[in-house]
Amino acid sequence: MSAQPPAQPLVAVDDIHTFYGKSHILHGVSLAVGKGEVVGLLGRNGVGKSTTLKTIMGLVQPSQGQVRFEGKAVTSLPAHKLARLGIAYVPEDRRIFKLLTVMENLRTGLDRYGVSEARKQALLGKVFEYFPVLAERRNQAGGTLSGGEQQMLAIARAMMLEPKIVLLDEPTEGLMPRMVSQIKQIIAVLNREGVAILLVEQNVPLTLEASQRVYIMEKGVVRHHAVASELNVNDAVIQQYLGV
Amino acid sequence: MDYLSLVWDWMVSHRDIIVIQTINGVVTGMILALIASGLTLIFGIMDVVNFAHGELFMLGAYVGVVVLATSGSFWLALVLSTLVVALLGAALQITTLRPLLGRDPLTTILATFGISLVLQNYALWQFGPVPRKIQEPFTGQFELFYLVYPWYRIVIALLSAGIIGGLYLFLKYGTYGIWIRATTQDRVMAQAMGIPVPWVHTAVFAIGAGMAAASGVLFGPLIGVNHAMGLDWVLKAFIVVVVGGMGNLGGSIAASIFVSLLEAYAAIFVSPAQAIIVSFVALILTLLFRPTGLFVPTPK
Amino acid sequence: MSKTSHTGYWIAFGIVLALLIVAPLVLPEFWRRFLTEILIWGLLAMSSDILIGYTGMVSFGHSAFFGLGMYGAAAALLMVKPPNLWLAILYGLAGSAMVAGFVAYFSTRLRDIYFAITTLIFSQIFYVIIFTWTEVTGGENGLTFSRPQFGIPGLYTVPFTSETLHWFVLAVVTASYLVVRRITQSPFGMVLQSIRENEARTRAIGYPVERYKIVAVMLSGLFAGLAGVLYALQNRFAAPDFVYFLISGEAVIFNVMGGIGTLVGPFFGAAFFLLLREAFSRFFTEYYLIPVGIIFILMVIFLPQGMLGFAKRWLNR
């Protein structure tokens, strides 16, 4: 393992064990994401990648281990407090509020205390610039949007929180190739703005291109950790943990 | 089609009682709608079947009695009662229902059932078994066929409609309305968006409690206020919530009026105690043929 | 499944039974009747356990079954002279079985909360019918009748004394418990439990789940009706109050607080709450339900598995 985790990570996860009922999903996962870094999390279906994200987001409580944000232990904090601290979550299957309009979806993140009206308008403006489709459909119900549009809304909604890190769970799943490159662009834009990203993906080439470091998981633990530029799709490691 | 003309003739010759019962049905329906909306909101957002809802209605009426006796103002009684019982509802939710979040739904049914027993007997202890009266804020009647019909009843219906309208506006616009609707649809993602879901739950419970209390005060002058008055109403409210579609606000309002009208018309032929069977039948038919609710457009 | 703990259970059972048999000889009259009432309410709560604990169906309809058992017995004791014990039992069971069948037919196709609410509504339907059909049911005032004698009319009868009535109730309740226990351990009972665990899977395997549920409801209704008959025998009156849904609520409370899925738990639940009620009513006069209600709520939050829940597996062996 040639990669080094950042000295002062933004988000760090230490030896977490998570259960769903009686199923032991995470068997001691440790990883870290630095400020402004894009880190990929690869692995086959069912190894615990989504569970790791959910544990970081406080949606699932680990039975053991620690989650740290900016150095402070936040393991027992509920999800809404973590969102306020600066962690945003874009889940698998998007989960936008289908019965709320696009605008109302955005407002769930936009309507925060202590944010001036001007800053809110600027945020909205920026998001509509990146996603003009959303501006067009702003008064439509979320459920009427196409899959790709819902994905954009899910990411836009997360951006409303002005997060320090975004947890992206399989953003390209079920999307057309044209949309996949759009996702790549969005990741690049977010990165430019200094937002860190923990990217869970099945799409290996995309992940290797977009990330600085990658972790590879298998059966609830991290098995490999490398600098992304040093990895190639055809490498033995990739084939071992991700090959079909 | 001789039957139709027979029925039509009967209706025309009895139009006075039909109109009266229609108005009665609408009035009762609006009161029921106030109670049922709170119940359905609470169920929709936190999957809690609040057996104590009838007792919140009852306590609202009693607080109204007390405030009316000390201040002499019916409207003050209405406002204070709503606030006090809303606070009580919040306190109950925080102490007894929050710890039960995520557990088997039977536990919340039992817990709210226990709360209902405690509140009923508390009222019995504090106020005794003799029913109290709330004086309506104004008397005054108008002529309706052979009856003199009190204006107050019309006012209740209008006020209830106003409160429900206010609720609708609050939910549709405004940040907190969005928070409530988001939490109702997807509690987990609402949390992930920074919405303080535990407090949203408490707020919704408080709103439901406040609305039940308001209907207790509004309806107080029509019936005697006593410790057991919640029982029949909570039953009707449950029926209406199921018929309207659980968690469906518009549905429970429509169902409230629909069922109350049915009962009012049935009361033309049988005693009020028996008329309630009509609502039972409505429930059973709904459950058999349209279990997601009569007024829900398509079965989920 | 070690043989030793199994025998341990039967020893415990024997001891409790022996105590219950001796009790009326040493207790004063009031407590004798109190003990008999505990047995009767315990039987009602146990009938609720068949549905809640073993089939996973929460029902609030037991007051209808209980009430119909009571009124059925009343009918037999008022209409047939001389009052015949066995006829009373028969009528009561028939009444509650019919009601149970009726309720089962409509409700079992519904799930969870809808089933619970429907059973509650049915209780109320029967309540309203009984309350308003004054000519037949005595309406608000109910019916009073005399207690029949024990034995075979025409051959040999002897009037019940307080002790012998207690022993009769004890015998009926014990027999019921043993029968229900046997049923829950039979293949039929196993299917019920599998429905509770995972209804979809049970259906997928091929079991006609609705039919099993209907039988479960009828079984439950039968024993609830039996409790109603015993109550009628004990107290010699039938009243609509017992058909009100609050009675169902109490049965569920006794069941859950004693421990669902244990069959014995409901009896302890009934005993606990009735004793609590008695104790508090000495100090708080009429408002004893306030502290009792608070204790109940605390138990729901902190002791949800009920008093005997920890022994569930041992009790079911």
C283 by Cβ neighbours in 10 Å (0-12 / 13-18 / 19+) ranks as exposed
Least CB–CB distance from C117: residue in B103, B118, B242: B242
Query: Letter for the amino acid at C63?
Result: S
A111 touches chain B (CB under 8 A): yes
Asked if the bond preceding C82 is cis, omega within 30° of 0, the reply is: yes
Q: What is the mean pLDDT of chain B?
A: 87
Task: Tell me the percentage of chain B whose pLDDT exceeds 90.
Answer: 43
Give the torsion through C-alpha atoms of C42, C47, C49, C51, to 10 deg.
-160
Q: Provide the β-strand partners of residue A68.
A: A12, A73
- Report the residue of chain B nearest A143, measured CA to CA: B185
Closest CB to B115 among C52, C116, C297:
C297
User: Does a structural domain hold residue A184?
Assistant: yes
Interface test with B, best of A61, A111, A159, A166 (most B CBs within 10 A): A111
Residue of B nearest to C304 (CA): B107
Is B186 within 8 Å of A88 when comparing Cβ atoms?
Answer: no
Sign of CA dihedral A53, A56, A60, A64: positive
Q: How many domains does chain C have?
A: 1
Q: Is residue C281 part of a domain?
A: no
Is the pLDDT at A1 greater than 70? The verdict is no
The predicted pLDDT at position B216 comes to 93
Contacts of B106 in chain C (CB under 8 A): 52, 58, 256
In the structure encoding, which two tokens stand for residue C97, read together?
Answer: 């079985």
Distance from CA of A84 to the nearest CA of B (A): 6
Give how far C125 is from chain B: nearest CA, Å. Answer: 7
How is chain B classified by DSSP, letter by letter?
-HHHHHHHHHHHHTHHHHHHHHHHHHHHHHHHHHHHHHHHHHHHHH----TTHHHHHHHHHHHHHHHHHHH--HHHHHHHHHHHHHHHHHHHIIIIIGGGTTS-HHHHHHHHHHHHHHHHHHHHHHH-SSPB----S---EEEETTEEEEHHHHHHHHHHHHHHHHHHHHHHSSHHHHHHHHHHH-HHHHHHTT--HHHHHHHHHHHHHHHHHHHHHHHGGGS-B-TTHHHHHHHHHHHHHHHH-TT-HHHHHHHHHHHHHHHHHHTTTS-HHHHHHHHHHHHHHHHHH-TT-TT-SS--
- C-alpha–C-alpha distance, residues C284 and C276, integer Å: 11
The residues, ordered by sequence, that sit 6+ positions from C14 with a Cβ below 8 Å of its Cβ are: none
Where on the phi/psi map is residue C112: left (φ > 0), alpha (ψ -120 to 50), or beta?
left
The CA distance from C78 to C85, in Å, is: 12
Nearest to B253 by CA among B23, B30, B28, B21: B30
Touch criterion met for C and B (3+ Cβ pairs within 8 Å): yes
Whether A96 contacts A54, CB under 8 Å: no
Out of B100, B283, B287, whose CB is closest to C301? Answer: B100
d(CA C248, CA B87): 30
B299: pLDDT strictly greater than 50: no
Q: Using CA atoms, how far apart are residues A195 and A209, in angstroms rounded to an integer? A: 17
Picking from C106, C117, C293, the nearest residue to B114 by CB comes out as C293
Q: Which of A58, A97, A112 sits opposite B182 (nearest CB)?
A: A97
Q: Is residue B185 part of a domain?
A: yes
Comparing alpha-carbon positions, the chain B residue that sits nearest to C290 is: B118
Chain A environment of B195 (Cβ under 8 Å): 80, 108
Chain B residue closest in CA terms to C56: B106
Q: What is the pLDDT along chain C (317 residues), one digit of tens a residue?
A: 455 557 878 888 888 888 888 888 888 888 888 999 999 999 999 999 999 888 888 888 899 999 999 999 988 888 887 778 888 899 899 999 999 998 888 888 777 777 888 888 888 888 888 888 887 777 888 888 888 888 777 677 778 877 888 888 999 999 999 999 999 989 999 999 988 888 888 888 888 888 999 999 999 999 999 999 999 988 888 888 888 888 888 898 898 888 888 888 999 999 998 888 888 877 766 677 788 888 889 988 888 888 888 777 777 77
Is residue B300 scored above 70 in pLDDT? no
Q: How far is it, in rounded angstroms, from Cα C99 to Cα C95?
A: 6
Residue B194, chain A, CB below 8 Å: the answer is: yes
With tokens 């509140």, the residue in question is B119
* C-chain residue closest to B243, CA distance: C114
CA separation for the pair B49, A155 (Å, rounded) = 35
- Indicate whether C101 belongs to any domain: yes
How many domains, in total, are found in chain A? 1
Instruction: Give how many domains chain B has, as a whole number.
Output: 1
Q: How large is the average pLDDT for residues A37-58?
A: 91
Contact A79 B192 (CB under 8 A): yes
Does C57 reach chain B within 8 Å, measured CB to CB? Answer: no
Residue pair A82/A58 in contact (Cβ under 8 Å)? The answer is: yes
The residue segments making up the domain with residue B132 are: 29-230
C140 at B interface, C-beta within 8 A: no
The angle formed by the CA atoms of residues C310, C314 and C315, to the nearest 5 degrees, is 90
User: Shortest CA distance to B209 belongs to which of B97, B298, B75, B293?
Assistant: B97
Rounded to the nearest angstrom, the minimum Cα separation between C258 and chain B is 13
Whether A235 maps to a domain, the answer reads yes
In one-letter notation, the amino acid at residue A208 is L
- Distance, in Å, from the CA atom of B279 to the CA atom of A22, rounded to the nearest integer, reads 45
DSSP 8-state class, residue A48: S
Q: CB distance C304–B280 less than 8 Å?
A: no
CB atoms within 10 A of CB C12: 13
Cα–Cα distance for residue pair A68/A165, rounded to 1 Å = 13
Q: Sign of torsion, CA C297 C302 C308 C313?
A: positive
pLDDT category of residue B1 using cuts at 50, 70 and 90: low
Closest residue on chain B to C139 (Cα)? B273
Residues 157-216 of B with CB under 8 A from C: none
Q: Which range marks the domain in which residue C89 is found?
A: 26-250
Does a structural domain hold residue C220?
yes
Tell me if A179 is assigned to some domain.
Answer: yes
Contact B227, B126 (CB under 8 A): no
Tell me the chain C residues in contact with residue B280 when contact means C-beta distances shorter than 8 Å. 121, 124-125, 128
Shortest distance, CA B57 to any CA of chain A (angstroms): 31
Is the residue at A110 inside a domain? yes
Say whether pLDDT at B126 is over 80: yes
Residue B259 within a domain: no
Give the whole-angstrom CA distance, residue B95 versus residue B91: 6
For the segment A85-108, the average pLDDT, to the nearest whole number, is: 92
Nearest chain B CA: its distance from C147 CA (Å): 32
Does residue A20 form part of some domain?
no
The answer to whether C35 faces chain B, any CB pair under 8 Å, is no
The CATH number covering residue A136 comes to: 3.40.50.300
| H or E segment to which residue A223 belongs | strand A221-227
B180 occurs within a structural domain: yes
Closest Cβ–Cβ partner in C52, C124, C132 for B280: C124
Residues of A in contact with B188 (CB under 8 A): 59, 79, 95
Would A111 be classed as within a structural domain? yes
What's the mean per-residue pLDDT of chain A?
89
Distance CA C228, CA B118 (A): 27
Give the number of other CB atoms < 10 A from CB of residue B261. 18
**Interface mutation vs chain C, best among B233, B287, B292, most C CBs within 10 Å:** B287
Q: How confident is the model at residue A2 (pLDDT cuts 50, 70, 90)?
A: low
CB contacts < 8 A (A, B): 65
Look at residues A118, A113, A116, A155 and name the one whose alpha carbon lies nearest to residue A134: A155
> What are the backbone angles phi and psi of residue C308, rounded to the nearest 5°?
-105, 10
User: Is B109 an interface residue toward A (CB < 8 Å)?
Assistant: no
Q: What is the mean pLDDT of residues B8-24?
A: 84
Residue matched to tokens 């536990």: B107
Decide if B147 is inside a domain: yes
Give me the pLDDT at residue C5, please: 57
A204 located within any domain: yes
Q: Do B181 and A91 touch (CB under 8 A)?
A: no
Note whether A79 contacts B178, CB cutoff 8 Å: no
Flag if A97 and B198 touch (Cβ within 8 Å): no
**Reported pTM:** 0.88
Percentage of residues in chain B having pLDDT higher than 70 = 97
DSSP H helical segments within A86-225, as ranges?
102-110, 117-130, 132-136, 147-159, 177-192, 204-210
**Whole-angstrom distance, CA of residue A157 vs CA of residue A153:** 6
